[in-house]
């Protein structure tokens, strides 16, 4: 019976991995080039990282998310796990809609508001996961730092182009 449980646990990790990366990629792909001209027209700060940094950072963030989500999923019978899973679903849904919403609207005011909401959801998600397991919450800390950096950049972009 132990070997069957290990196989199910291993399988749940790969299902979560495929779902998270699949959702993120399918949301990203159609809008990757759609906003290129709009983005090129914006005044961007010198501290804006090149595209290749995003190409490395986001898969790392998603892998940490997958790992944390998997651990919480495996502990889903525990007291704080279900609320944490709901918060993750909300945060992840808002996260993957970033590209479609912002590129389609091409509105920096909306982008700034959206980023603030997303950042708060990431913090809430981190706290929710921390309540399930301190180690799981710690897996979200690089994501919090990345989102804080992103919010800071968004504020600079907004200030340079709108304010």
């502990």: which residue's tokens?
A: 75
Q: What is the C-alpha separation between 84 and 66, in angstroms, rounded?
A: 14
Q: What pLDDT digit, counting tens, does each position of 126-162 carry?
A: 999 999 999 999 999 999 999 999 999 999 999 999 8
Q: pLDDT above 70 covers what percent of the chain?
A: 88
The pair phi, psi for residue 146, each rounded to 5°, is -65, -40
* pLDDT digits 0-9 by tens, 65-76: 999 999 999 999
pLDDT surpasses 60 at 1: no
16 to each of 9, 23, 27, 132, 142, how far by Cα in Å?
11, 10, 16, 18, 20
**Residue ranges of E strands in the chain:** none
The pLDDT, as a whole number, for residue 71 is 94
Domains of the chain (ranges plus CATH)?
2-161 (1.20.1260.100)
Q: Dump pLDDT digits (tens) for 46-87.
A: 888 888 888 898 889 999 999 999 999 999 999 999 999 999
Q: Rounded CA gap, 58 and 50, in Å? A: 13
Quick count: other Cβ atoms within 10 Å of Cβ 59?
A: 13
């Amino acid at each position: 019976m132990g070997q069957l449980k290990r196989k199910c646990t291993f399988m749940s990790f790969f299902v979560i991995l495929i779902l998270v990366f699949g959702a993120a990629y399918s949301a990203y792909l159609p809008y990757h080039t759609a906003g290129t001209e709009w983005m090129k027209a914006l005044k961007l700060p010198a501290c804006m990282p090149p595209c290749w940094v995003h190409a490395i950072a986001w898969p790392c963030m998603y892998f940490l998310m997958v790992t944390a989500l998997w651990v919480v999923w495996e502990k889903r019978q525990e007291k704080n796990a279900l609320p944490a899973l709901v918060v993750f679903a909300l945060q992840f849904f808002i996260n993957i809609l970033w590209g479609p919403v912002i590129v389609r609207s091409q509105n920096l005011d909306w982008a700034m508001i959206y980023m603030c909401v997303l950042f708060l959801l990431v913090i809430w998600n981190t706290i929710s996961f921390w309540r399930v397991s301190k180690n799981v919450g710690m897996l979200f800390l690089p994501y919090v730092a990345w989102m804080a950096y992103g919010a800071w950049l968004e504020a600079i972009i907004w200030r340079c182009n709108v304010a």
